[in-house]
Amino acid sequence: MDRLATMRAMAAKQPTNALVRFGLANELQKAGLLEEAATEYASYLASYDDEGNGWLRYADILHELGRHDAVRDAVTRGIDAAQRYGHSGLVAEFEERDY
């Protein structure tokens, strides 16, 4: 079974497990299924105190989908999370992105 199918099966069995949702979102992103990936990242971020990485991935997808207002919100929330957890390198990554 491929990784995407495995993650879909895990998410079906554990629909409230935020980290499974994050893994599924990552696999969807790799597969180019951006709409579905955005939905999964949103679900993950709504239920888990992400340290910034998830917000960065979500912002990248929203940018590719042309959802610019949502990108700005994701960037703001991601920078806040990264600062809260002391991830200055991640803050720099957000600031280097050309959204």
Number of C-beta neighbours around residue 65 at 10 A: 14
Write down the pTM of the prediction: 0.94
Over residues 34-80, the pLDDT tens digits come to 999 999 999 999 999 999 999 999 999 999 999 999 999 999 999 99
Rounded to whole angstroms, the Cα distance separating 99 from 75 reads 9
| DSSP letter assigned to residue 48 | S
pLDDT at 1: 59
pLDDT at 40: 97
pLDDT of 94 strictly over 90? yes
Q: What percentage of the chain carries pLDDT values higher than 70?
A: 99
Q: What percentage of the chain carries pLDDT values higher than 90?
A: 97
Rounded to whole angstroms, the Cα distance separating 71 from 7 reads 26
Contact indicator for 3, 33 with CB cutoff of 8 Å: no
